[in-house]
Amino acid sequence: MKLGSPIKFSALALALAVTLAGCTGPNASKPEPVSTANLTRHVEVYTAGFRNISEKYIRPLQVDDIAVGGLEGLTSIDPSLQAERHDDNVRLLLDGQEIASAEAPAAMDAQGWGTITATFEQKARRRSSLLNSAGDEKIYEAVFDGVLADLDVFSRYAGAAEAKRNRARREGSGGIGIQLKVVSGNPEVIKVRSNSPAARAGIKVGDKITRIDDTDVHRTKLRDLLNHLRGPAHSDVSVRIYRASKDQHFDFTIARQLIVPNTVTIQVDKNIGYIKISSFNQATAEGVAKALRKISQMADNDLKGLIVDLRGNPGGLLKQSVKVADLLLTHGQIVSTRGRHPDSLHHYEAGGRDLAEGLPIVVLVDGKSASASEIVAAALQDRRRAVVVGTSSFGKGTVQTVVRLPNDGEVALTWSRFITPSGYALHGLGVRPTVCTSGLSGGPRAALERFELNKPEIQAAYASWRRSLIDEKESRKALRQACASERRKSTVERRIAELILSKPRLYAQAIELTGRESQAWK
């Protein structure tokens, strides 16, 4: 097998070398044959990971550097291991003794370094009892944690099981549409989603589940229960429930469907609409569109304004945040993304109908509002479509692309930055509220009095905020401290929003302070 690198052995030859190697040293474990198929699978996983990371990460990376980092990651399982790179040679040591050595491939040879990593890892398994008992997924995790250790905190590896849960949160998963809690070891239905398979089958709140398929689920952990209920869309699951009101058991065979968690809740109070967005999944924009129509009906088309609550919202899917902003804008830039890879460069423009029909909008943010929620807040603020109330947001202004690996694990990899319509990079800075509630000890009127007194300072802060460059970390930190990032769970921000929406002059003044500045990002 030709790898296009200086490695002297093919994967098959290296596999045979691993199989024939003796077991010596204090950490030796009982030899187990290493199959060619297993080695090939590991080569594929590492090669795919190394290639994608080096090509897509936001700054240039060499494959040889990250691969050596991956070998060093094995020390998290067995501290006696040590990886070394000397010019054209790479070695793996155990307790100071060499157990594997090879000529280093070219710096950007992902397959060559993938082969070395897989071969060294499996040789180490034969010498290290800790590594031998770790299992494939734990070793993958150790290697990729080593690869990503010197990158940013948002670039991370998820093993196959965690990646499956991540995909379910992003995309939804096959299920029947119920929420459960475990009471004295018994799974009890606490919510049935409307128009779900469970609702159509006749399952009700209060029903206790006793069996799922052929499994007795008494004293089963909640996560395991959910795993039993989830499966491919359109597949069947059998559920037996006990209904206390009838003192009777019932059996159901239910076809699963794609269940996407609801992220949007609404209220109408004093003719002001309130939309809470908890995160951004693939159904969020559709949920907001429905919420806007329903709020208008609930208020009998006599709305004074709209509150969009993004406090505590950690973000989610970029395109959903763009769609949500587009629901409230008729034109202009929403956000752009800039990175090193050509596919990371995007420019998103509004081009639809404002479903709020020009109503005044107040957006609530806090220190836990991140990523996709910051895109919405910044777009509406920069386009002078909304007044932002709260504390400086989290400042998570990078985009992660998700690379699915051959083992069904995934690498979330930072590959671009968000740039707001007024031109500043969100990362490390966040969105600055017009009405700041950081350190607020009084009620909503105290916050508005502080706003009235500090208008010149607020306007100056916006100018500095939008001129701030991505490398100016200390000045950005100082800007954030002027309206410190805090977690806000009280009702005071909502009450401030209601006061602003009830006073058109105050709303207009706040909007005027957010006037766009010239492009500043470099």
Query: What residues are annotated to the active site?
Result: 371, 382, 396
Beta strands 346-349 and 257-259: pairing type?
Answer: unpaired
Q: How far apart are the first and last CA of the chain?
A: 46
Q: Which residues make Cβ contacts (< 8 Å) with residue 29, sequence separation at least 6?
A: 23, 125, 126, 127, 128, 129, 132, 133
CA distance 311 to 374: 10
Distances (CA, A) of 393 to 48, 412, 469, 480: 35, 22, 17, 9
* Angle of CA points 425, 265, 294, to nearest 5°: 110
Structure token pair of residue 171: 């995309």
Structure token pair of residue 489: 């769970």
Q: What is the 3-state secondary structure (H, E, C) of 260-302?
A: CCCCEEEEEECCEEEEEECCECCCHHHHHHHHHHHHHHHCCCC
Beta strands 257-259 and 387-390: pairing type?
Answer: unpaired
Contact (Cβ atoms closer than 8 angstroms) between residue 102 and residue 118? no
Closest CA to 91 of 81, 101, 99: 101
Q: Find the length of the chain.
A: 522
Return the SS3 of 451.
helix
Phi-psi region of 521 (alpha: psi -120 to 50; beta: other; left: phi over 0): beta
Structure token pair of residue 64: 């040889």
CA distance 289 to 224: 34
DSSP code for 160: H
Contact (Cβ atoms closer than 8 angstroms) between residue 1 and residue 111? no
Q: Where are the alpha helices (DSSP H) in 159-313?
A: 160-171, 197-201, 222-229, 284-298
Tell me the backbone φ, ψ of residue 482, rounded to 5 degrees.
Answer: -65, -25
Closest CA to 113 of 1, 4, 34: 4
Beta strands 236-243 and 208-212: pairing type?
Answer: antiparallel
